[in-house]
Amino acid sequence: MASGSSYTSKTISREPINTRSLIPARASRDWQAVNVEAEEPETDQVRLTRGKALDAVRSARREPKPLRFTPAPSHARSIRAFTNFFLLLFLFLVMAIPFTSLSRDPQPIINWSGESGKTEIHPVGQPGVPPVRQPRILPVGQHGNWMMIFHDEFNGKALDATKWTTCYFNFTVGNGCDHDQGELELYRPEEVFVSNGTLKLHAERRTVSASNGKVYHYTSGMISTGPTASNPNDSRFAFQYGYIEMRAKIPSGKGMWPAFWTLPTDLSWPPEIDVFEILGDAPNLINMHYHYATADRGDGDSGDEWTGPDFSADWHTYAVDWEPHAIVWYVDGVERSRYTVAAHIVSKPMYLIANLAVGGDWPGSPDITTPFPSDYQIDYIRVWKKG
């Protein structure tokens, strides 16, 4: 326009006030502005006089009205509070479960079966409550309906005295016992250890004097479910027919004589079933024997030998299935011997024995090559009956 004109054209833009920038950052999610005049941007094309232009600009740039903040009703906050409550309740229940379990008086399930090897029997249930159904463990290599009637997995810290004694009933010598057949050891309770899920019958070369005045140069350990000298008519466990199985690792060395066998509860002899006997200087040769009474009251002996691997080098299972019509021996689940003269098969209740003899008429005495101490290690002992 010409410089002499009395009017000028002025464009005034009024921008909206950004209320969010005025809210404290930490409260921005829970607060909202109220009583705020949010105006849409608008442009007024006004023809003003020179004298009024400055006032118009000042008016367009007026200060915003003060803002007041109040808590906003938030559904998210309610949901978070609800979620936190149930999370705390869940954590409380999870922490309470172990203490509830410890307060129970569990009863073990023994009629179970499954894979071979080291398997623990876990206690389940409580008095008055039927136990939870569990898979049953079968003898290694066997099938069919077997009911476990005895077992010891040796998972505690000491020998279970309700199942085992540590001496013969008829060879007691003070706080220990010996045996005949030229054996050199004194069996002592101190040589029976339970640790890490394993029973150890421990043989040592040491000199001890017994209460009978005899001096022994070796000590060792044994266990039996049979009677004791103080109560020869009471066995801790006995059975008539069934399948007995042990998983063990035997020691080697001249004079070592580990065995697993049975004797009758009426204290007679024979009969005797030897699940296995192994001589330490021939650790790959297993001896399986059955001693029985003949018609003329003699001693019948039927048995086999089987040459296998070095049984002292690893764990193996040794078993006998004793039935009215046959006695069958198994090593690692495979049949290795059988006796089938039914007229001679024992029908009396029998109890279990496991021992580590040192020396004797059969193995001979230890020599300088025999390692001491030596351990006969037993993982478990189990007995089943056919269901």
Residue positions annotated with a catalytic role:
272, 277
**Tokens standing for residue 362:** 């059969």
Amino acid at site 260: F
Q: Which two tokens stand for residue 5?
A: 């004109």
Per the CB < 8 A criterion, the answer to whether 309 and 329 are in contact is no
DSSP 8-state symbol, 377: E
Is residue 30 a contact partner of residue 77, using CB atoms and an 8 Å limit? yes
Q: Give whole-number Cα distances, 154 to 46, 50, 150, 287, 380, in Å.
A: 103, 109, 13, 26, 6
Cα–Cα distance measured from residue 171 to residue 183, given in angstroms and rounded to the nearest whole number: 12
At 257, phi and psi to the nearest 5?
-145, 75
Return the DSSP state at 125: -
- Would you say 153 and 108 are in contact if contact means Cβ atoms under 8 Å apart? no
CA separation for the pair 279, 318 (Å, rounded): 15
Q: Which two tokens stand for residue 86?
A: 């149930």
Sequence length of the chain is 387
| Residues in Cβ contact with 385 at an 8 Å cutoff, skipping those fewer than 6 apart | 146, 147, 149, 239, 241, 242, 243
CA 233 to chain centre: 36
Residue 327's Cβ-count burial label (10 Å; 0-12, 13-18, 19+) is buried
Backbone angles phi, psi at 349, to 5 degrees: -65, 140
